[in-house]
Amino acid sequence: MTSIRIFISSVQKELAEERLALRDYLQGDALLRRFFEVFLFEDMPAADQRADACYLEEVQKCDLYLGIFAYQYGWEDETGVSPTHYEFNRATELGKYRLIYVKGVDDEVRHPKMKVLISEAGASLIRRRFNSSEELISAVYVSLVRLLEERELIRFSPFDASYCRNATLDDLENDKITRFLGLARRGRSFPLPEDTTPQEVLIHLNLLDNGRPTHAAILLFGKKPQRFLITSEVKCAHFHGFHVEKPIPSYQVYKGTVFDLVDQAKDFVLSKIDLWTGDRSQGVQVSTVYEIPQEVVSEAIVNAVCHRDYTSNASVQVMLFKDRLEVWNPGSLPPTLTLEKLKEPHHSVPANPLIAESLYLTKYIERMGTGIRDMLDRCRQAGLPEPEIRLDGGVWVTTIYRKESTQQSEAHDGGQSPTQSPTQSFGPVVRLLVELKNTPLSSGELRDRLKLSHRPTFRQNYLHPALEEGFVELTIPDKPNSSRQKYRLTAKGRDYLKYLCIEIS
């Protein structure tokens, strides 16, 4: 099989990280490396040849010119032209297939000659803007797969980039796209303005296939994703013992978008594990610490939802036992990674890159390729055993161990402990009462303090039981839906906290 030779525009210091990350991704991806051969100027051995002659010769040899333009114009020869400009012109003269990517959105601060180059490129082809290596990789990935399809080298699309059968744009919820746009702009400086239409957002994210929603579009913004992808749900179970056994004390099947699934599953776990509270000796607000850092819980769940094999008939399973949390998801490692490599610095190779990009833009993924290491570090800092990761018959299993009973009075925060006692390890209802012991709070304020994202979980596990027990009451009882509604402790609630030896000011 003949390889398609890609020429990545020559050395620019400000783009060194993006160029190397792109090369590593193209060489590591199981699909793309079968069809593409990458030329990067930094990989050239020393030779008795002028650099400009070398890169122009490589442009002539290539099948595809991939130009990455940023803010600087670069070194100029005696005629005032940079190598990047020469390369683009040569590729254009030779009729090469060209893909152009422009970093950033502030064109006013670009070198004047770079603005000219970008303008020349824009006059003859479609450019794509990006802000990070992750956005660049995702955009290049989609363009190269599309090229392979156009040349009939492959006759299928990656799952998340392929058309979702029987789905239409009416199956997407515009409000979800608008909310995503706001989060992405605040979280990662997403380049599209606030008034961008939902369809323009979908086009920018490569979530449409000939105007039809892809699987990624349905999973990210669908009204009812499980209507099309039945097993995309997440099953959560809580067991009081060490093994799976019936009856199951608590079992939930969550549905919705990938954002909903992550939020619901995370809140399920946080509502079941121990939370310790301290006193006010270290500040005005009472310190609270979960026995498993909530970042670790989030990382394990978001990895499962993001990187699972959505063609499998299995669902993601989140199971909490007396001694551990297990997260199961159908999938396997990319061929370029091993379980040991996951614990070391490595480039991200997402199973579903379009889904991963949207999770990154909304900060559900803090930084691609570092999640496992961050999880290991946070467990170590919290005094927990190192999580175990294993592959078991096509299923990816992450096991996070809980604190042993002899450790449960120890602090998680760098060895510094607030004043704690065994009575300060609470269930959901008491956690809510503790937050209300000094002042009435609104529903939103309570969820913020309890660090809960999913409103139904908060109401089902925290607020409604507290109201039913008579521990909490509304501050405006005759207007339950008032925007100024708050919740406060009743006399019964205060007596219950006193019974638990919790001080009330």
- Going by C-beta distance under 8 Å and a sequence separation of 6 or more, which residues neighbour residue 171? 213, 218, 222, 223, 224, 227, 228
Q: CA-based Rg of the chain, rounded to a whole angstrom? A: 27
Per-residue model confidence (pLDDT) at position 249: 86
DSSP letter at 111 equals: -
120 plus 241 within the same structural domain: no
Residue 418 in this model has a pLDDT that exceeds 50: no
Q: Give the Cα separation of 295 and 223 in Å (integer).
A: 28
Closest CA to 329 of 317, 341, 340, 346: 317
The mean pLDDT value for 173-186 works out to 94
Question: Any idea which residue has 């006692």 for tokens?
Answer: 421
pLDDT digit string (tens) for 183-228?
Answer: 999 989 999 999 999 999 999 999 998 899 999 999 999 999 999 9
Helix orientation angle between 133-150 and 16-28, rounded to the nearest 10 degrees: 40
398 plus 437 within the same structural domain: no
Is residue 504 domain-resident?
no
> Do 218 and 167 touch, CB atoms closer than 8 A?
yes
Q: ∠ CA 68-74-78 to the nearest 5 degrees? A: 130
Residue 242 in this model has a pLDDT that exceeds 70: yes
305 plus 368 within the same structural domain: yes
Token pair of 313 as six digits:
């008939």
The 3-state DSSP class for residue 159 equals helix
The 3-state DSSP class for residue 122 equals helix
Q: How far is CA 480 from CA 69, 435, 476, in A?
A: 56, 20, 6
Mean pLDDT rounded to a whole number for the chain: 85
Q: What are φ and ψ of residue 388, in 5° steps? A: -105, 140
Q: How far is CA 407 from CA 45, 183, 422, in A?
A: 56, 38, 11
pLDDT digit string (tens) for 16-44?
Answer: 889 899 999 999 988 899 999 998 876 66
Burial annotation 478-494 (CB, 10 A radius, 16+ → b, else e) = eeeeeeeebbebbeebb
240 plus 387 within the same structural domain: yes
414 — pLDDT class (breaks 50, 70, 90): very low
215 plus 196 within the same structural domain: yes
The DSSP result for 367-392, as a single string, is: STT-HHHHHHHHHHHTTPPPPEEEE-
Per-residue model confidence (pLDDT) at position 504: 66
Domain boundary among 196, 223, 250: 223
> Do 263 and 298 touch, CB atoms closer than 8 A?
no
Domain boundary among 191, 223, 255: 223
Give the percent of the chain with pLDDT over 70: 84
380 plus 271 within the same structural domain: yes
Q: Give the Cα separation of 218 and 209 in Å (integer).
A: 12
Q: Amino acid identity, residue 3?
A: S
217 plus 144 within the same structural domain: no
The mean pLDDT value for 423-439 works out to 76
Domains identified in the chain, total number: 4
Q: How far is CA 326 from CA 43, 313, 329, 386, 426, in A?
A: 43, 19, 10, 13, 22
Per-residue model confidence (pLDDT) at position 345: 63
Is residue 395 domain-resident?
yes
Give the percent of the chain with pLDDT over 90: 47
58 plus 145 within the same structural domain: yes
Per-residue model confidence (pLDDT) at position 369: 61
Residue 47 in this model has a pLDDT that exceeds 70: no
Residue 328 in this model has a pLDDT that exceeds 90: yes
Please name the helix (run of DSSP H) or strand (run of DSSP E) that holds residue 27, with its range, or none: helix 16-28
236 plus 219 within the same structural domain: no
Omega cis (within 30) before 247? yes
Token pair of 364 as six digits:
């559900």
Q: Give the Cα separation of 39 and 36 in Å (integer).
A: 10
Per-residue model confidence (pLDDT) at position 416: 37
Is residue 188 domain-resident?
yes
Residue 1 in this model has a pLDDT that exceeds 60: no
Helices (H), 74-192: 83-93, 112-124, 133-150, 174-188
Residue 14 in this model has a pLDDT that exceeds 50: yes
Domain CATH number, residue 437: 1.10.10.10
Is residue 413 domain-resident?
no
The mean pLDDT value for 255-264 works out to 96
The residue segments making up the domain with residue 209 are 160-223
8 plus 64 within the same structural domain: yes
